[in-house]
Amino acid sequence: MGVNNNNTDCMTSHNNIYIGKWFLPEEPDRKIFGTLSFSKEDKPVLLVFEKLGDSTSFTFDNFQQITGHVYNQNDKKDYTIELINVMQISGNYHSSSKFTYKTNEYLLAKGFLKPTLLLFKDIYLSADILNDWIKPFGNIKEEMSDKSEFNFSIEYTQPASFKLFVEDNLSIYCYFRGSYTWKMNRSGTAIESRWINLELKKGGALDEFHKLVSSLENLLTLLFNNQVKFTSTELKDTQDITYTHYFAGRKDNFITNKSSKQGIGFDYFKSNSQIIIGEWIKKEEELRLLVNNFFTAFGNKTMYLENRFVAYLSLLEQYHKLRFADYNPKGKKYIEMYRKVTSKLTGDLLSWIKARLDDKTEIRLKTRLLDLIEKFSIPIDDEVLEKIIATRNHFVHLDKDIVNVLGKDELYNINQVLEENIIRILLREISIDQQ
């Protein structure tokens, strides 16, 4: 099989300008001339010379979707662009009317396409870290046939994709793709990239796409112990049209790492992927609040150390309440007395006493952390735990008189310990016991 160099990513950046006609999918016959450019943050900015939607309205309108049939001045090709969740940011209603719209998310496809409902059956995801994690499977053959004429040939044998997960409406595969680059000396290099392919048997809209992508990024982040954000995304709709998907700035607030060497190996994952992915889908929903809180903090470079510290402790406390709801730290003597007292009471008096004795809100954070430290062998000793509790109370209650708090370097190190063990706890939830 030859190597494919058909690149749909036409370098969307602030250097690109798209000129053409724009319209709302529900008003395909009312097309308005306009220009799409990009801000320094690579966010699309659309300037049109007539108001989209209700042209008599003086309000700033937002649109779920705006379609453009446009010409790219850089590569001299025609494209269809779908701007998603668009917000009007300016409007001039005088003789030289101009209206500006802005968004973060858009889809790009070759040629001029008819308006579509944007229902997708295939999702293709890639990131540099996948190429490090998954070993090459294809066969690449490079050959200089005649040095005097600089005849250089490349052949790439694409391996078959293989399944990672299958359920009623969702199948996940590992998929391979070859590409090549030419050098100045007329030689070339073939590259195999590894992709995750999600197949939706019933199709799905963009909100389903976002949910699936976020879920997979979170799972891979746990497996790699590194923040993962997919860098290349393609969608194939139910009409077999392929779009390249962009979301400007979605990686900017996170620290990403290209190495996967400290995480779970791909061979182990491949052998157990049906169980791991199935458990993750179930547990992510079951622990939704905890999972969201963790991934909001993990790798977020805009978050202060203090906020991350409080977030991780709160997460561990919530996890203990959820997973160990029957936990009672008061010992056998307390339980004996509890039974004696409640056995001698009846009616409203019994209900009142039981309600207060059964109330576990008085279980202290320190007590819950001690239980988690023991259950999961978290490397925190009693002295460090006292400082952790004091520091948490200092931050939460804003009590300046609290002493024995963690310094900045200590806080950074404790955050690392908490982070690593939260990941270990979540991995155990999906049947990966990482000692």
> What is the Cα–Cα distance from 182 to 133, expressed in whole angstroms?
26
Q: What is the pLDDT along the chain (435 residues), one digit of tens a residue?
A: 333 444 444 445 557 899 999 999 999 999 999 999 998 888 999 999 899 998 888 889 999 999 999 999 888 999 999 999 999 999 876 666 899 999 999 999 999 998 888 999 999 999 988 988 998 776 666 665 555 555 666 777 888 899 999 998 999 999 998 877 766 555 667 788 999 999 999 999 999 999 999 999 999 999 998 888 999 999 999 999 999 999 986 655 555 554 445 689 999 999 999 999 999 999 999 999 999 999 999 988 889 999 999 999 999 999 999 999 888 776 677 778 878 888 888 888 888 887 777 665 568 899 999 999 999 999 999 999 999 999 999 999 887 777 788 999 999 999 999 999 999 999 999 999 876
> Which residue blocks in 230-330 are alpha helix, DSSP H?
266-286, 288-297, 305-323
- Asked whether the whole model's pTM tops 0.75, one would answer yes
DSSP 167-234: -SSEEEEEEEEEEEEE-TTS-EEEEEEEEEEEEEEEEE-HHHHHHHHHHHHHHHHHHHTS----SEEE
Angle between helices 206-224 and 408-429 (to 10 degrees): 110
With contact defined as beta carbons under 8 Å apart, do 395 and 310 qualify? Answer: yes
> What is the Cα–Cα distance from 250 to 213, expressed in whole angstroms?
12
